[in-house]
Amino acid sequence: VVFDSSPDLDPPVKRDVTYVLDRPTARGSRILLATRWFLENNPFSEFVVYLDDDSFLSIPRLIPHLLQLTEKEATMLVMGYLMSTPLDVTVSGIDICDICKPCSKCLDDQSLRDVCAQFNLALGPCLHYISTCQIYGAEVIEQCVAEALSESQRIVDYFGSRWTPTWPLGMGWVLGSEVTRFIARNAGVLKSRGAADVQIGYWLAGLEDVHWVDMSDGRFHDFPRRHSMFTRGCSNEQTRVFNEAEQQLARLREALLAVRHDATPAALTTLATTAKDSSAASLLGKRHQHYHARLSQLSRSLSEFQALAEGEVTKAIRQHVMPKSPETPEQQADFARYMRKLVAVHLLQTGSFDAFEAFIEEVGLLDGITDLVPEHYLRAYREAERVKAEGELEEAMEWLRKNRTAGRATAMRREIFDNTQRDLLLQKVYEMIGSGVESAEILELVFGGLFARQRDPSAEQRKKLQSCLLALAYPAAKREAHLATAAGLGNNALDRFWTLFFRGTWPVGEGHTKLL
């Protein structure tokens, strides 16, 4: 998490005045420059999430949506509360009967007709302008409407259209890596005036194949539903927790800014106490502390799983993931189920299939939790296992390669099939080692299997992979001294190869010593 902030230098404006054209907006410029800075310092990031500083992001509810994306969808992602709005109200199609009840009252109002006729406006758009002027206490309605029309034309001239392209509404959105790189590369020349979130729509209007994911059903903004990802409240029951007095909000902001630079468990524990005079701050502090502790706990657990022998995985999962300080029985049950689901999906993605089976069985028997993983994930897994068990090795690998992107849940299917294919590849390598095949032939098989969908491996990659294979020739007790060259592999395929060899899933047999 990178917290990037700067002063809001824009002058105060009326609530509905969102288009400042006299100067680049602080917010728009901040998005451009921070995106460029972020990519320069984090070039391998897959997603960038933008949040207003008074927003609460539920990461557990966001991650499953990202996991379901294909590789192309993920890189070109724009996810948020998507909108497309008129810059010129006269083309909005507002009907007088939609904003005037009863409709006949406005249709029969001659004074309204006379005002609208001065500006050659239909009754609907005209009444919209008049109502806005009245809200802000304009003394001369006609002058106010004239100024609004003039400002609308300035906006249209600046953006070059009367209707906006699709854009993500303020507060929060998620961008894929290619979309982020496009913004970062062009930060110095993209439009930076007007509403910052509307600017994004114009920045991306010329990009091909943007994958728009609309969350306008309430999952991003102020919506007290169970599956909400963004909410201004800190729980589903208190969606307007930020509706507090100015001094309370000030204390809340100070407390949050203090812990953002020191987000240790101790600092988070004191957050609620620091902001005790504000019910909003107190509630947010407790919730922030609660989720930070749980997610940190899970993060530690997953990293520890990588170093465990397969038989110990399930035991470690139960030890680390079990909630220790439940709030209510319902929240405890929801959290327990979510954590177990996250672990199950993680085991599937990393190819820990035996551990996955054991975990699913134990969760069902001991916790009574079933249907932990979506059925279409399981279908892909069972399909891969069937092909692995029934087919000839080369035929199975070819089938998995051809069918990796067919059906639902493409991203997960690809992960499962690729992991299964690599398992089969290693099985083949193991058989070749046991048969005394020349090492050069083994290397060519591995290169062909691991790099089938990318460019040829570099000399450095070949050297590291060869080190992995040669290390197998040594007894387990002596291997450590021969792994230095292979350590720190950067390529995903080589990293996967390393995992399978040295973290417990490589087949056990006499092949190791035969190569020696």
Query: Is 503 inside a domain boundary?
Result: yes
Query: pLDDT per residue over 440-471, tens digit each?
Result: 666 666 666 554 544 455 555 555 555 555 55
What band does 73 get if pLDDT is binned at 50, 70 and 90? very high
Out of 137-146, 266-275, 291-300, 475-484, the most confident range is 137-146
Could you give phi then psi for residue 175, rounded to 5 degrees? -120, 140
Length of the chain: 516
Which H or E element spans position 96?
helix 96-99
pLDDT digits (tens, 9 = 90+) for 250-299: 555 565 566 555 555 555 555 545 444 444 434 444 444 444 444 444 44
Phi-psi category of 138—alpha, beta or left, where left has phi over 0 and alpha has psi -120 to 50?
Answer: beta
Q: Is residue 438 part of a domain?
A: yes
The pLDDT value recorded for residue 179 is 96
Has residue 184 got a pLDDT over 90?
A: yes
Least confident of 70-79, 88-97, 484-493: 484-493
Radius of gyration of the CA atoms of the chain, in A = 29
* Predicted confidence (pLDDT) per residue in 206-239, tens digit: 899 999 998 876 566 554 444 444 444 444 432 2
- The model's pLDDT over 360-382, given as tens digits with 9 standing for 90+, comes to 777 777 777 777 776 666 777 77
Q: Diameter of the chain by CA atoms?
A: 99
Of the candidates 325, 323, 363, the one whose C-alpha atom is nearest the C-alpha of residue 344 is: 363
Residue 425 domain flag: yes
Tell me: pLDDT of 129 over 90.
no
User: Between residues 359 and 71, which one has the greater pLDDT?
Assistant: 71
Q: 197 exposed, middle or buried (CB, 10 Å; 0-12, 13-18, 19+)?
A: buried
Count of Cβ atoms closer than 10 Å to residue 380 Cβ: 26
In a domain, 246, yes or no: no
The answer, yes or no, to whether residue 300 has pLDDT greater than 60, is: no
What is the number of domains present in the chain? 2
pTM over 0.75, yes/no:
no
Sign of CA dihedral 244, 245, 249, 252: negative
Q: How confident is the model at residue 202 (pLDDT cuts 50, 70, 90)?
A: very high
Would residue 463 count as lying in a domain?
yes
Residue 146 lies in a domain: yes
pLDDT at position 291:
42
The partner residues of 231 in beta bridges, in order of sequence, read: 56
Q: How confident is the model over 22-30, as a mean pLDDT?
A: 82
Tell me whether residue 298 is in a domain: no
Write the burial class of residue 382 (CB in 10 Å: 0-12 exposed, 13-18 middle, 19+ buried). exposed
359 in any annotated domain: no
66 pLDDT more than 70: yes
More confident position, 270 or 428:
428
- Residue that is last in its domain, among 116, 141, 159: 159
Q: In the predicted model, is pLDDT for residue 340 greater than 80?
A: no
Q: Are 211 and 73 in contact (CB under 8 A)?
A: yes
* Least confident stretch, 29-33, 344-348, 441-445, 450-454: 450-454
| Secondary structure (DSSP) of 5-22 | -----SPP--TT-----S
- Domain range for 477 is 379-515
- Domain end, chosen from 116, 138, 159, is at 159
Name the domain boundary from 122, 142, 159: 159
